[in-house]
Amino acid sequence: MAEIRLQNVWKLFGKTIAVRDLTLTINDGEFLVLLGPSGCGKTTTLRCIAGLEVPDRGRIIIGNRDVTDLPPARRGIAMVFQSYAVFPHMTVFENIAFGLRVRKFSEAEIQKRVREAAELLQIEELLQRYPAQLSGGQRQRVAVARAIVMRPEVLLMDEPLSNLDALLRLHMRAELKRLHLEIKSTTVYVTHDQVEALSLGDRIAVMKDGQIIQCDVPEKVYAEPENMFVGSFIGSPPMNFLQGKVTMADRAVAVEMNGVRLTLPPGFEKLGERAGSQIIVGIRPENIEILREARENAIPAQVIVIEPIGFQRLLTLQALGATLKATTQADVTLAPGEQVWLRFDLQKIRMMDPKTGKAIPCRHPDG
Ligand SMILES: Nc1ncnc2c1ncn2[C@@H]1O[C@H](COP(=O)(O)OP(=O)(O)O)[C@@H](O)[C@H]1O
Ligand SMILES: [Mg+2]
């Protein structure tokens, strides 16, 4: 196993800056997810780790070796691509064995390793088949088996599930998680799917424009986004953002939004320093409670759309001159057009600076 360190890595394609001064340490045995929208530099970062791209600047260290100038074959890595290219003229067994044969492993070792990998991926009964005789999910397992059979210190995966249908993707996601617990290779996994990232990652590095915006455990990235981009990229539906102004009334800090005053509980004193300034209040849909009558500190709203989404309902609401999303239990009876009141879970709101889009430290517990 090995730790991976990227130190101030830059990669340009002509005038396009694909990776911009990226510094990141991936711990030994960790499952790290690189998450971000299309074109943000995920694949390029992964290819730099693999040695398929040479960074214009910066160093890449795997274990205690500086591999920046080493070819892919000497880096102790294996990679699974989005287009899981398997060789059509070879059986599954030979596909999995390919890398081992290239490196001149003994026949006995090849037999042992291929069977082990096939067992881990539950494709033992497919070893004599050809790729054309396999389903998409089975072919993807072969591609993963071909990577892990090398017992790499580092496993790199670039959107390996994106060619599978939704149900299979869900199944393979759990399989990859189980596999990682067994093989424990340091894993870097690229995806643009935030659900996949939350489900798989020990940590998630959220990327935008070639840079890492936030890197933390999934719970933190979800509950405490560093900025509005992370709050809206992660979570479905995304975090709601409301415009307001910080005010002080009787030494209590409040936010005034479209004429409605929301008084904040103790702990928000630091925000008082910004009295008179504009602010953005971020709140996730599940942290909004729907009330049938007015209460203190509750915000009047009108129900616009109600969507059943299985065990919950997704509400679109009009409040404070904006459109909000909230989730509620499926058994709550509501009708479009109905007047309701919203109670925000004030321990879970996130204050953002409208100028920078960044979270403002304003509470004692999280600084
Ligand atoms: N071989 C290449 N030649 C020119 N531009 C490239 C090449 N590879 C990637 N890019 C550009 O670099 C940026 C990052 O691409 P990429 O790393 O593939 O993003 P992602 O995997 O996050 O979608 C994009 O603007 C893309 O168009
Ligand atoms: Mg990509």
User: Are 44 and 116 found together in one domain?
Assistant: yes
The mean pLDDT of 340-351, rounded to a whole number, is: 96
Torsion of CA 263, 264, 269, 272, to 10 degrees: -50
Q: Is residue 40 a part of any domain in this protein?
A: yes
Q: Is residue 364 a part of any domain in this protein?
A: no
Q: Is residue 360 a part of any domain in this protein?
A: no
Identify which of 43, 56, 157 to mutate to test ligand 1's pocket (most ligand atoms within 8 A of the CB): 43
Nearest bound ligand to the CA of residue 41: 1
User: Are 295 and 226 found together in one domain?
Assistant: no
Residue having the nearest C-alpha atom to atom 1 of ligand 1:
13
* CA 34 to ligand 2 centroid distance, Å: 10
User: Are 116 and 249 found together in one domain?
Assistant: no
pLDDT per residue over 190-221, tens digit each?
999 999 999 999 999 999 999 999 999 999 99
Structure confidence at residue 365 (pLDDT): 54
User: Are 21 and 71 found together in one domain?
Assistant: yes
User: Are 224 and 287 found together in one domain?
Assistant: no
Identify which of 11, 12, 16 to mutate to test ligand 1's pocket (most ligand atoms within 8 A of the CB): 16
* Ligand 1 contact, 18 CB (< 6 A): yes
Q: Give the residue from 198, 233, 268 where a domain finishes.
A: 233
The mean pLDDT of 308-320, rounded to a whole number, is: 93
CA proximity to 161, closest of 148, 151, 176: 176
pLDDT per residue over 266-279, tens digit each?
888 889 999 999 99
Provide the residue range defining the domain that includes 333. 240-352
CB count within 10 Å of CB 36 equals 28
Q: Is residue 358 a part of any domain in this protein?
A: no
* Rounded distance between C-alpha atoms, residue 317 and residue 325, angstroms: 6
Q: What confidence tier does 367 reach under pLDDT thresholds 50, 70, 90?
A: very low
How deeply is 331 buried, as exposed, middle or buried, from its count of CB atoms within 10 A (0-12, 13-18, 19+)?
Answer: exposed
Whether residue 187 is predicted with pLDDT greater than 60 in this model: the reply is yes
* Ligand 1 contact, 39 CB (< 6 A): yes
Whether residue 304 is predicted with pLDDT greater than 60 in this model: the reply is yes
Q: Ligand 1 atom closest to Cα of 37?
A: 22
Lowest-confidence segment of 164-173, 220-229, 241-250 by average pLDDT: 164-173
pLDDT per residue over 53-111, tens digit each?
999 999 999 999 999 999 998 999 999 987 767 899 999 999 999 999 999 999 999 99
Nearest bound ligand to the CA of residue 83: 2
The total domain count for the chain is 2
pLDDT per residue over 124-144, tens digit each?
999 999 999 998 888 988 999
107-to-42, 91, 103, 131, 180 alpha-carbon distances in Å: 37, 16, 12, 22, 27
